[in-house]
Amino acid sequence: MRTIDWVDGAVELVDQTLLPDKLVTLRIHTVGELIEAIQRLAVRGAPALGVAGALGVVLADGDPGRIAALRAARPTAVNLAWGVDRAAAHLNGGREAVLAAALKVRDDDIAACRAMGERGADLLEGDRLRIMTVCNTGGLAAVERGTALGVVQTLHERGRLAEVLALETRPLLQGARLTTWELARMGAPHRLIADSAGPYLLAKGGVDAVLIGADRIAANGDTANKIGSYALALGAERAGVPFVVVAPESTIDQGTPSGEHIEIEDRGPGEIVTVRGVRVAPEGTQASNPAFDVTPHDLISAIVTEQRVIRP
């Protein structure tokens, strides 16, 4: 199954807001619909956003205003702007050239995820590994297989996976809804844990590695990823557990010198005072909702891309 693709003249994508209850594919014909799908997280995850950005330029039919709006639909994952730029660079060649460039972004992502899976699995030592992860970095966050969860899948295929501990990932529950769904489909043993249990379980021992994805890696290695990643990095450092970032080269942003320059999306209070549409805080409660945090490079043991392993 592909999470996002170009089919018969339209973008097709899995509506991730409906999982795990329903597997529904949306057909998207306009940039406006695609921006709306990106902003409500029907399509999400840095590599998938890169492909959405590239395919969206085909839908934009050369309209610079629409292309700019698409590029800015979400600010933190650099892959979105990167994908838009990759396709938009071919606007002079006409629609067919833009489409070919966008399909190459899709195909490169598939190849990159497979390569990251192999390289990440090669990097980790041990036979029966217990992996902790946050958010969703699987096939749903890319076109196929994904980044950190792609490494998990490769470990599982090699018979080297003991268990995955998946953080539920409040407020939008990508871990509880999406990562568990993907792990169940691949037949990989897993347990869901509360976000706040992560550092405690690392301290208790028995976790072999933390594997996470990335939305933007600054030039100095500081890495923005789903909120909660920084707490896991601190817990991993204290427990002596390797903390490994798995992301394609397209997530590395040489134009951003360090983490403090990364724009962190704040998605507003609504997602915090409610859980799946049910209000859990008193009416009128103020809330802040940073969707990502930044892990300083000195807490990262290695960054695995499709081309290399970057160490501190």
- Residues annotated in a binding site for substrate: 44-46, 74, 174, 225-226
Query: Which CB atom, from 273 or from 291, has the smaller least distance to ligand MRU?
Result: 291
Query: Which CB atom, from 137 or from 256, has the smaller least distance to ligand MRU?
Result: 137
Upper half-sphere CA count for residue 167 (Cβ side, 13 Å): 27
Query: Which CB atom, from 174 or from 301, has the smaller least distance to ligand MRU?
Result: 174
Shortest approach of ligand MRU to residue 213 CB, angstroms?
A: 3
Shortest approach of ligand MRU to residue 63 CB, angstroms?
A: 25
The residue written with tokens 């539920």 in the block is: 168
Query: Which CB atom, from 17 or from 25, has the smaller least distance to ligand MRU?
Result: 17
The length of the chain, given as a count of residues? 312
Residue nearest to ligand MRU (CB): 213
Shortest approach of ligand MRU to residue 250 CB, angstroms?
A: 11
Query: Which CB atom, from 99 or from 140, has the smaller least distance to ligand MRU?
Result: 140
Shortest approach of ligand MRU to residue 126 CB, angstroms?
A: 23
d(CA 238, CA 199): 9
Angle of helix 46-60 versus helix 78-88 axis, rounded to 10: 30
Shortest approach of ligand MRU to residue 296 CB, angstroms?
A: 17
* φ/ψ of residue 180, rounded to 5: -65, -40
* φ/ψ of residue 148, rounded to 5: -60, -40
Residues annotated as part of the active site = 215
The residues of the shown chain that bind ligand MRU, judged by CB under 6 A, are 41, 44-47, 77, 135, 137, 141-142, 146-147, 174, 213-215, 225-226, 291
Measuring CA to CA, which residue among 265, 309, 280 is closest to residue 44?
A: 265
Specify whether the CB–CB gap between 164 and 201 falls below 8 A: no
d(CA 293, CA 296): 10
Annotation: binding site: 44-46, 74, 174, 225-226
